[in-house]
Structures are given as structure tokens and as C-alpha cells.
């Protein structure tokens, strides 16, 4: 079987790519079948989650989308960030990343300014190359997550994958690798997004172990810069609980650097069961899931599942003609065929 083997069983990852409705996958099934305790990621959102339908583009928005699509389709290189350095060739990894939804996210983030959206897309392509995302392997990042500092598990009521951040479980010295760890987990969260969902939910728990410590201001500003510059329109909601006074002070310090749209998505010390179905919410956060973190089980399960998801998307992208502007809905195995772009009426073709 071409699948993912875990201690308590195995499952064919290609099965995971097909909709739960077609396969009748059990409610709240995990990759390795664990139930109590749960040790690996949930395969699908709960039936209590409802992914919102995508909004229809206006005529003006459709025209601007096509203008941007035409621009980026002509790109063969991306600029280097260092002056006088040669341009960097565009790769298939770049082209598959430049989906229809990706272009629309950057257009929304720039208030439909096509020139600014193109500039920001180029900047992100350069950043992804120079930051070395492809070299941040599971093996390289593994020590950072050995104590369960971050956990990708379950989906919120809108079908957004939930990424739990546990600052109190910090196990390494402050360094850029801690930021690389967060970026790595953001990328894996995107890998696990279901068809039709483009956003994620952050659940940040500042438990008592946090004590009087807090991230340095430079690190907070760096993380914010990365999120706002290179992951626009990705944050659906940020739920923060158990906030000590030192963290409130930290939030006040970085507040000027948070854009208003992101600030509106922050929720502090609220009942998380209203945002995440209890059947997929950790008990430590008020839910029903008895999750036990075993790094030797969870880490390979997460990364092999994410890798298989990426492989399936690449396979579908190649099969459809390796187009820039391809539909994420199609790539993730959702309803609808591959597209060339958006029709003039604003609907996907």
C-alpha cells in the first residue's frame, strides 16, 4: 500500500485526498485511528464545520484579476533582493503557488491595485526562495517542536485548520530558527486546508508556564512582517487565552505594527467552543479532545500527510496543464474542473 504507516495502523493517503462524503470516513477520524488519547491529526473537519462559499467577483474585480493574471503569466524570473544580483528563474514550485486564489488574496490585500499586487507577489516569490522554505525540512525543524510548542490539529467552525501555539513549552534559545519553525508550521497548515478554505485559525495559549517571559520585540515584529507581507488573507481568526500581564504589555508594544484587518480577527480569553467544534478542540482549550503529544508519532504523521497532499496537488496541476492561475478548489480535489481563469461574469470556468 502506498500509504502512511503509524504504530497503531496504516491508511492510504490517496484515500485522504478524496472527499469524506464519497468515502464515508468516520466522524473525527485521525490519521492513525487513535481516539482516546488522540495522537495524530484529524483527517477532515467535523460535520459541525461549514466552509463558506466563495464570493462572486464583480465585473471590475474580474477585469483586474485577468490583468494581473496576464502580467504574472509572462514572468520567467523573479528579482533578487540584493541589488545588481542576477534574477532568479521561475520554477514549477513558483507557478503552482501562483493559483487563482493566491492572486485574488493579493488583490484583496492591496485593495485591488493590480500593480501593487504584482509587486507584492514578486516580493513574496523572492522571499520564499531566499528564506529557503524548501530547505526547512521536517528533520531540520523537528528539535523546535519536540516539546509540543506548536500543534496542527482539527478545524474550526468554518473548516479552517487549527494551529495551536504554546509559548509556555519553549525548549530552545531565542533565534531565527524559532521564526523558521512558525513559518514551517504555517506551510503545513496550508497543506492541510480542505477544498474551498484558504484561511487558518491560530489558537495561542499563554499558560502559567509562560511566567514573566515574553518574545523579544524584534521577533514579534519579524513574525508580523512575514505574516502580513507574505501570507495575506490567510489568517481567519486568532484566539488567545490565559494572557498574563507581561503578554498584554507585549501586545501593546506591537499593536502599532498590526494592520487593522488583522487586529479585528484577534479574540482574547473567550469561550473557544463557540469557534471550534468541541469534538475537535483540545481539552486544554475547553474542548473534548484528549490529545497526548508523542513527538515520535505525531511529527512523522503530520509531515507525511502534508507531503502526500502536496504531491497530489502537484499531480493534478501537471495533469491540468501546469497553468499559472489554476484553481485551488480543483487542486485540492474539490468540486469543479480545472480552470484557465475567471469568466467575464466572475464565475470560475
pLDDT band at residue 340, thresholds of 50, 70 and 90?
low
User: Is residue 1 scored above 60 in pLDDT?
Assistant: no
pTM of the model: 0.86
Determine contact, residues 205/238, Cβ cutoff 8 Å: no
Q: What pLDDT, in 10s, does the model give residues 265-284?
A: 888 889 999 999 999 999 99
Range among 95-99, 224-228, 258-262 rated most confident: 95-99
pLDDT band at residue 25, thresholds of 50, 70 and 90?
low
* Predicted pLDDT at 22: 37
* Predicted pLDDT at 215: 58
Residues 6+ apart with CB under 8 A from 5: none
User: Is residue 70 scored above 90 in pLDDT?
Assistant: yes
* Predicted pLDDT at 214: 56
pLDDT band at residue 318, thresholds of 50, 70 and 90?
very high
User: Cell match 463558506: residue?
Assistant: 52
Using alpha carbons, select from 185, 181, 175, 223 the residue that is nearest to residue 41: 185
Orientation angle between helical segments 100-109 and 114-131, nearest 10 degrees: 110
* Predicted pLDDT at 51: 95
User: Is residue 140 scored above 80 in pLDDT?
Assistant: yes
The rounded distance, in Å, linking the Cα atoms of 221 and 319 is 41
The rounded distance, in Å, linking the Cα atoms of 301 and 311 is 15
User: Is residue 94 scored above 70 in pLDDT?
Assistant: yes
Average pLDDT over residues 182-210: 90
Range in 172-186, 274-288, 289-303 with the lowest mean pLDDT: 172-186
Find the helix or strand (DSSP H, E) in which 11 lies.
Answer: strand 9-11
Which is higher by pLDDT, 271 or 6?
Answer: 271
The rounded distance, in Å, linking the Cα atoms of 243 and 204 is 9
* Predicted pLDDT at 262: 76
Grid coordinates representing 268 are 482574547
User: Cell match 495524530: residue?
Assistant: 40
With pLDDT > 90 as the criterion, what percentage of the chain qualifies? 65
Determine contact, residues 217/112, Cβ cutoff 8 Å: no
Q: How far is CA 154 from CA 40, 158, 275, in A?
A: 10, 11, 12
User: Is residue 13 scored above 60 in pLDDT?
Assistant: no
Grid coordinates representing 190 are 496550508
Range in 13-22, 140-149, 156-165, 215-224 with the lowest mean pLDDT: 13-22
**Sheet of 150-155, strand order:** 150-155, 161-165, 200-205, 235-241, 266-268
* Predicted pLDDT at 343: 36
Which is higher by pLDDT, 8 or 278?
Answer: 278
* Predicted pLDDT at 331: 96
Q: How far is CA 94 from CA 34, 77, 101, 245, in A?
A: 36, 10, 14, 42
* Predicted pLDDT at 243: 81
Average pLDDT over residues 65-74: 97
Amino acid at each position: 500500500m502506498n500509504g502512511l504507516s503509524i504504530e497503531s495502523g496504516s491508511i492510504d493517503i490517496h484515500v485522504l485526498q478524496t472527499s469524506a462524503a464519497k468515502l464515508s470516513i468516520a466522524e473525527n477520524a485521525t490519521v492513525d485511528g487513535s481516539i482516546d488519547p488522540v495522537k495524530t491529526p484529524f483527517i477532515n473537519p467535523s460535520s459541525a464545520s461549514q466552509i463558506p462559499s466563495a464570493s462572486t467577483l464583480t465585473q471590475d474585480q474580474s477585469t483586474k484579476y485577468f490583468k494581473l493574471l496576464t502580467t504574472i503569466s509572462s514572468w520567467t524570473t523573479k528579482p533578487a533582493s540584493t541589488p545588481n544580483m542576477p534574477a532568479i528563474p521561475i520554477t514549477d514550485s513558483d507557478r503552482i503557488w501562483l493559483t487563482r486564489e493566491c492572486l485574488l488574496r493579493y488583490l484583496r490585500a492591496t485593495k485591488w491595485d493590480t500593480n501593487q499586487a504584482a509587486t507584492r507577489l514578486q516580493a513574496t516569490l523572492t522571499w520564499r526562495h531566499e528564506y529557503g522554505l524548501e530547505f526547512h525540512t521536517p528533520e531540520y525543524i523537528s528539535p523546535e517542536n519536540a516539546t509540543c510548542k506548536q500543534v496542527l490539529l482539527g478545524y474550526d467552525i468554518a473548516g479552517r485548520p487549527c494551529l495551536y501555539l504554546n509559548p509556555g513549552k519553549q525548549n530552545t534559545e531565542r533565534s531565527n530558527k524559532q521564526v523558521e519553525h512558525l513559518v514551517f508550521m504555517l506551510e503545513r497548515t496550508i497543506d492541510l486546508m480542505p477544498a474551498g478554505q484558504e484561511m487558518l485559525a491560530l489558537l495561542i495559549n499563554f499558560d502559567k508556564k509562560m511566567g514573566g517571559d515574553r518574545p523579544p520585540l524584534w521577533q514579534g515584529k519579524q513574525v508580523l512582517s512575514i505574516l502580513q507581507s507574505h501570507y495575506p488573507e490567510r489568517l481567519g481568526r486568532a484566539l488567545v487565552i490565559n494572557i498574563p500581564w507581561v503578554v498584554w504589555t507585549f501586545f501593546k508594544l506591537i499593536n502599532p505594527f498590526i494592520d487593522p484587518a488583522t487586529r479585528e480577527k484577534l479574540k482574547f480569553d473567550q469561550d473557544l467552543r463557540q469557534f471550534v467544534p468541541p469534538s475537535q478542540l483540545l481539552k486544554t482549550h475547553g474542548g473534548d479532545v484528549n490529545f497526548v503529544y508523542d513527538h515520535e508519532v505525531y511529527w512523522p504523521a503530520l509531515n507525511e500527510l502534508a507531503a502526500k497532499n502536496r504531491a497530489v496537488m502537484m499531480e493534478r496541476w501537471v495533469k491540468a496543464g501546469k497553468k499559472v492561475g489554476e484553481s485551488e478548489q480543483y487542486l485540492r480535489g474539490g468540486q469543479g474542473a480545472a480552470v484557465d481563469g475567471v469568466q467575464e461574469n466572475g464565475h470560475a470556468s
